[in-house]
Amino acid sequence: MQQAGFQLSWPWRLSLGYLFLMLALPLAALIAKSSSVGWAEFWRIATDPVALSAYEVTFVTALLAALVNGVMGTLTAWVLVRYTFPGKKLLEGLIDLPFALPTAVAGLTLATVYSSNGWIGSLLAPLGIRIAFTRLGVGVAMLFISFPFVVRTVQPVLQELEQEVEEAAWSLGASRWQTFWRVVLPQILPAVLTGVALGFSRAVGEYGSIVIIASSIPFRDLIAAVLVIQRLEQYDYAGATVIGTVMLGISFLSLVVINLLQAWGSRHET
Amino acid sequence: MKPDGISGVQPEPSTNPWLSGLLIGIVGLYIALLLGIPVVNIFYQAFREGIPAFLQHLTERELLSALRLTVLTALVVVPLNTLFGLCAALALARRRFPGRALLLSLIDLPFSISPVVAGLMLVLIFGRQGWLGSWNLRVIFAFPGIVLATAFITLPFVVREVLPVLEEAGTEEEEAAKTLGANSWQIFLRITLPNIRWGLLYGVILTNARAMGEFGAVAVVSGNIIGRTQTLPLFVEDAYRSYATGSAYAAAVVLSLLAVVTLVAKELLERGSPSRRIF
């Protein structure tokens, strides 16, 4: 390709400069600070009991939420692609809401609705189930923000699926379940898992909605992101940095997994 | 009650009304519990004391100054990231080089980093104990910090929306224009920009929505000083914590309308083009 001066040179310089200032420099600052802590100290802070329980609350709850949405999101995509029914447009419109609604607003309204005197929480309170200000609340907030990912990754794949294959399986005597497990699921699995990984990654980093719906008590419903802020508020920069670095590591890891899953998915397509 | 497998000829997969009804019911219930009821609740809570009370909450001084700061932040961040996004997309679409995938993942990083960690990074640069702490730049607990944090979080949207459109459009039209003697600016304004305008617009809308709604990153760097460095999402949390539920929901309604506008715009922009991912 030719060296079109305008299109190649100054956009390049501008974007690389901007990326350096906005992304590389902050990233370097975090890594530099956390390496200045020293290995022994890093390990001590990173494996502090409060931190360990915060990872557990964050990662396990995020994983559970992502898996629930893996099932419900696939089901939602299926219903939206295969069936027509009144109110479908409304349902379709609501799906992307968690992408668009500011997380503080999500936290506010979830905390109200799921509190023990809220619309939904008051129905569960007599059963002894409390959601707001417990770990279940963290879970509900994570379900909310990670919901759209699976729907949006699975929906296009389902749309492309050739129904003739299903009909062939069907006419050869496969049952509804067999057709789904043996014919449909293998084809949409990469998309489902990509959506689960994206949702997990989003839920792990979530702060705004969770800080409002949770009580953030250590060993109960304190998440890693809130712990970072608590350490910062105590001017414990090293503590905040170490926990932030652990979270960053998990982000990188999920990014790698997501890329691998997407590569797997596109290999299936060809 | 058992229509299947009796006559030997089975109905088509999607025609069992019991199963489809059940599945639609489950999905409908799940979405109602998770999304529908919480959304209705925002408007119910905001208006339950009547419109005059809502308007009174809406025009409180703290709320208005938070709204002003949020709009101001978006006015700085959105053009900045639009310019960057355009440049980066143009640069990346026209060249294949080693490390391109790496650069793309770097651009995507703000999607997967926790906003809190993003804010922390800025504190480590500009905070009192940070790299540039001794320079006494007023970044942390001030407007520039809010802008930087928001710009970090919203950096990928425009690139991510424009890049696929550019790649699909190809370079033939641009090369034709070039042989006909058009200069770079003419090519950009007459050919490239019209090709990518909807993707660009969508990217700008997403950037704006996220910029106005960002909470975690801004919470770390802003200091949450009422009337000075409190953005509208921070105001929502603050009002909720101080039991000013009416004010919290008045602000929440403003932010929800932003979300509604974003979703409607998405719907309109997607109508003409094939399905697009959004995140």
Check which CATH number belongs to the domain holding B243 and give it. Answer: 1.10.3720.10
Q: Are B123 and B220 in contact (CB under 8 A)?
A: yes
Using only C-alpha atoms, what is the Rg of chain B?
Answer: 24
Q: Is residue A95 part of a domain?
A: yes
- What's the Cα-to-Cα distance from A254 to each of B77, B101, B109, rounded to whole Å? 28, 16, 11
**In this complex, do B84 and A15 lie within 8 Å of one another by their Cβ atoms?**
yes
Q: Are residues B34 and B94 in the same domain?
A: no
Residues of chain A with Cβ-Cβ distance to B279 below 8 Å are 99, 148-149, 152, 198, 202
pLDDT for the residue numbered A59: 95
- Count of domains in chain B? 2
- Count of domains in chain A? 1
H helix intervals, B98-192: 100-112, 115-126, 143-154, 156-169, 172-179, 184-187
Nearest residue in chain A measured CA to CA from B27 = A76
What is the rounded average pLDDT of the residues B185-210? Answer: 91
**In this complex, do A244 and B120 lie within 8 Å of one another by their Cβ atoms?**
yes
Residues of chain B with Cβ-Cβ distance to A87 below 8 Å are 28
Q: Which domain holds residue A257?
A: 36-269
Percent of chain A past pLDDT 70, that is, above it, reads 96
Q: Is residue A8 part of a domain?
A: no
pLDDT for the residue numbered A268: 59
CATH code at position A90? 1.10.3720.10
- How far is B107 from B42, CA to CA, in rounded Å? 34
Does residue B275 have a pLDDT over 80? no
pLDDT tens by residue, A228-242: 999 999 989 999 999
Q: Are residues B92 and B130 in the same domain?
A: yes
**In this complex, do B115 and A155 lie within 8 Å of one another by their Cβ atoms?**
no
Q: Are residues B32 and B151 in the same domain?
A: no
B17-31 vs A61-82: helix axis angle to the nearest 10?
130
Could you tell me which residue, A173 or A32, shows the higher pLDDT?
A32
Q: Which domain holds residue B55?
A: 50-272
**In this complex, do B248 and A108 lie within 8 Å of one another by their Cβ atoms?**
yes
pLDDT tens by residue, B66-93: 999 999 999 999 999 999 999 999 888 8
pLDDT for the residue numbered B169: 86
Q: Is residue A83 part of a domain?
A: yes
**In this complex, do A105 and B28 lie within 8 Å of one another by their Cβ atoms?**
no
B115-126 vs A237-269: helix axis angle to the nearest 10?
130
Q: Which residues have CB under 8 Å from B7's CB, separation 6+? A: none
Q: Is residue B190 part of a domain?
A: yes
Confidence band, pLDDT 50/70/90 cuts, at residue B10:
very low
Residues of chain B with Cβ-Cβ distance to A6 below 8 Å are 183-185, 187-188
Distance of CA A110 to the CA centre of its chain: 17
- What's the Cα-to-Cα distance from A74 to each of A19, A22, A151, A157, rounded to whole Å? 36, 36, 6, 11
pLDDT tens by residue, A181-214: 888 999 999 999 999 999 999 999 999 999 999 9
pLDDT for the residue numbered A269: 54
Q: Are residues B88 and B36 in the same domain?
A: no
Amino acid in position A122:
S
- Mean per-residue pLDDT over chain A, rounded: 90
**In this complex, do B215 and A104 lie within 8 Å of one another by their Cβ atoms?**
yes
pLDDT tens by residue, A70-97: 999 999 999 999 999 999 988 988 999 9
Q: Are residues B29 and B83 in the same domain?
A: no
Q: Are residues B89 and B181 in the same domain?
A: yes
Q: Which residue has the tokens 């503590």?
A: A239
Q: Is residue B266 part of a domain?
A: yes
Q: Are residues B93 and B223 in the same domain?
A: yes
* Residue A146 distance to chain B (closest CA, Å): 10
Q: Is residue A21 part of a domain?
A: no
Q: Are residues B102 and B216 in the same domain?
A: yes
Does residue B266 have a pLDDT over 50? yes
Range 209-228 of A in CB contact (< 8 A) with B? 211-212, 224-226, 228
Q: Is residue B114 part of a domain?
A: yes
What is the rounded average pLDDT of the residues B138-151? Answer: 93
Confidence band, pLDDT 50/70/90 cuts, at residue B273:
low
Range 58-117 of A in CB contact (< 8 A) with B? 72, 75-76, 78-79, 82-83, 85, 87, 91, 93-113
